[in-house]
């Protein structure tokens, strides 16, 4: 089955700097990769997703890139703000028709003013 | 659109009691709902997948007799933790997927369960 690894586990940046979180997956047949932001005590919120037929997707300050050959995808946040501080999870959709999302271990992002 | 609610948001109960958590899709029909458990500073662990009108599919290691899941309608799924014990204390999160949302899952706000 699918396995997703995520790095780094913690990331501290200064306000205004960029933050990059990277994930790798094991199943080359996976074709859907969402990113979630989870604030303390709340459920995950989808912030961006990408499908395997696209190499990059951008939404304002957030972008995701996908390298199918290397089986890795990354989240890029530019011009970070203190309100970006949260835990970010990547995920990959299991390709065996189960509809299951396989989550990475999470990255705790802290943006210092 | 695509709002998922959970009730209650937090619950404290005594060891040995049963607790029911509701997950509702407010503005769409959820053909599939998922239940996750999240321990502090850890990732989401899928417990089970439920499709409306059929039995839930449980992940390996999840006791189906302890975590009862019912998906009786296209907008409601319930998770009942039977005979809860302190080790069942966790953050329980549901998500829902509609037939028209593609692969996207919409997550609820979570339920904090504390078993004394």
User: What is chain A's mean pLDDT, rounded?
Assistant: 95
| Residues from B in contact with A at Cβ < 8 Å | 4, 6, 32, 34, 42-44, 46, 49, 57, 93, 97, 102-110, 112
Mean predicted confidence (pLDDT) in B44-70: 92
User: What is chain B's mean pLDDT, rounded?
Assistant: 93
For residue B1, what pLDDT is reported? 65
For residue A96, what pLDDT is reported? 78
Which chain A residues are within 8 Å of B105, Cβ to Cβ? 34, 46, 101
What is the rounded distance in angstroms from the CA atom of residue B86 to the CA atom of residue A72? 38
| Residues from A in contact with B at Cβ < 8 Å | 32, 34, 36, 41-46, 49, 89, 93, 98-101, 103-106
List C-alpha distances in Å: A76 to A10, A21, A53, A56, B54: 15, 7, 19, 11, 40
**pLDDT at residue A103 tops 90:** yes
Mean predicted confidence (pLDDT) in B64-68: 95
Are residues A45 and B107, on separate chains, in Cβ contact within 8 Å? Answer: yes
Which chain B residues are within 8 Å of A2, Cβ to Cβ? none
For residue A20, what pLDDT is reported? 98
Q: Which residues pair with A52 in a beta bridge?
A: none
- Nearest chain B Cα distance for residue A87, angstroms: 9
For residue A39, what pLDDT is reported? 96
Are residues A101 and B104, on separate chains, in Cβ contact within 8 Å? Answer: no
Mean predicted confidence (pLDDT) in A8-23: 98
Are residues B44 and A103, on separate chains, in Cβ contact within 8 Å? Answer: yes
- Nearest chain B Cα distance for residue A34, angstroms: 8
Q: Where are the beta strands (DSSP E) in A1-113?
A: 4-7, 10-14, 19-25, 32-38, 45-51, 56-59, 62-67, 72-77, 86-93, 101-103, 107-112
List C-alpha distances in Å: A91 to A14, B10, B23, B83: 26, 26, 22, 32
DSSP-derived 3-state class of residue B91: strand
Of the candidates A44, A83, A48, A88, the one whose C-alpha atom is nearest the C-alpha of residue B96 is A44
Instruction: Encode pLDDT of A68-92 as tens digits.
Output: 999 999 999 999 999 999 999 999 9
What is the rounded distance in angstroms from the CA atom of residue B72 to the CA atom of residue B70? 6
What is the rounded distance in angstroms from the CA atom of residue A2 to the CA atom of residue B31? 23
Q: A5-14, A68-77, B15-24, B96-105: which range is least confident on average?
A: B96-105
């Amino acid at each position: 089955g699918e396995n997703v690894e995520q790095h780094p586990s913690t990331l501290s940046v200064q306000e205004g700097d960029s933050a990059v979180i990277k994930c790798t997956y094991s199943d080359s047949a996976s074709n859907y990769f969402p990113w979630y932001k989870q604030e303390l005590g709340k459920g995950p919120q989808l912030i961006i997703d990408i499908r395997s037929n696209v190499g990059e997707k951008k939404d304002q300050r957030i972008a995701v890139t996908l390298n199918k050959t290397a089986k890795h995808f990354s989240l890029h946040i530019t011009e970070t703000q203190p309100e970006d501080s949260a835990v970010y999870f990547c995920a990959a959709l299991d390709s065996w028709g189960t509809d299951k999302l396989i989550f990475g271990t999470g990255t705790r992002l802290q943006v210092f003013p | 659109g695509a709002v998922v609610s959970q009730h209650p948001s937090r619950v404290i109960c005594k060891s040995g009691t049963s607790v029911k958590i509701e997950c509702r899709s407010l503005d769409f029909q959820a053909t599939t709902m998922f239940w996750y458990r999240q321990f502090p500073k850890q990732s989401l662990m899928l417990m089970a997948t439920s499709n409306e009108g059929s039995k839930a599919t449980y992940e390996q290691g999840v006791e189906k007799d302890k975590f009862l899941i019912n998906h009786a309608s296209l907008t409601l799924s319930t998770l009942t933790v039977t005979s809860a014990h302190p080790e069942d204390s966790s953050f329980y999160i549901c998500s829902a997927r509609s037939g028209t949302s593609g692969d996207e899952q919409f997550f609820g706000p979570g339920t904090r369960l504390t078993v004394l």
